[in-house]
Amino acid sequence: MSTTSSRIADLRKSYERAELSEDASHPDPLRQFDQWLTEAIAAEVPEPNAMTLATVASDLRPSTRVVLVKGYDERGIVWYTNYDSRKGRELAGNPFAALQFHWVELERVVRIEGRVEKTSPEESDAYFASRPLDSRIGAWASPQSEVIASRSVLVANAAKYGAQFLLQPPRPPHWGGYRLVPDQWQFWQGRKSRLHDRLRYTAQGGAWLRERLAP
């Protein structure tokens, strides 16, 4: 065993920043999420909008990657990406996914599960138009998840599409938004002695069942 591996087993942290109780939490998980994300932004947590997205392929092999949340409301959690990417292909075959936010500095984790659907073309168009020009060109230049010979392929593609579209690149047909419609949320707050707070919200008709889980 390497020295680093042996040291990992000895790492310890005492979680003592906050608590999460049934009385202090919102009955609606979206409001609880909004409160925690707002607090993460106010605390200047690095990339508070970064979330891990987990999908499962048709061969049942899972994969994860980090994406950025770009919107959320009562309809669900939204991000944007290349539909032809690995995650896009996996969602086409299995439209269920899981999201996780980890705000280390606040000792908090939010997990969200549900069915994923594409956003409307109008929503995707509006967000694409709001992106910086180089990001819009990049959506055309990168054949996401495909093998390429070198970085020069991306540079050449960017130059090609930049010259073709100038200042007005349209949204690529292979690029747009996804929305995860939650049917389960979990909120985890680190506590002392590993007796963490963990609340689960499960969709039941038009309401949410809130339960405490053992950590």
**Residue 187: which of 121, 99, 61, 128 has the closest Cα?**
99
Please write the tens of the pLDDT for every residue from 78-113. Answer: 999 999 999 999 999 999 999 999 999 999 999 999
What is the CA angle 39-43-47, rounded to 5?
A: 90
Start-to-end CA span in the chain (Å): 29
Residue 121 — very low, low, confident or very high, per pLDDT cuts 50/70/90?
very high
- The answer to whether residues 56 and 96 touch, using CB atoms and an 8 Å cutoff, is yes
Please write the tens of the pLDDT for every residue from 28-86. Answer: 999 999 999 999 999 999 999 999 999 999 999 999 999 999 999 999 999 999 999 99
Q: Which residues contact 113 (CB under 8 A, 6 or more apart)?
A: 96, 97, 98, 99, 182, 183, 184, 185
Q: What are the start-end ranges of the H helices in 65-210?
A: 86-93, 121-130, 133-141, 151-165
pTM: 0.89
Q: Considering 89, 131, 151, 194, which one is annotated as catalytic?
A: 194
Position 205 scores a pLDDT of: 87
Does residue 194 have an active-site annotation? yes
In a 13 Å sphere around the CA of 162, the CA atoms on its Cβ side amount to 12
Residue 8 — very low, low, confident or very high, per pLDDT cuts 50/70/90?
very low
Q: Mean pLDDT, to the nearest integer, of 141-156?
A: 92
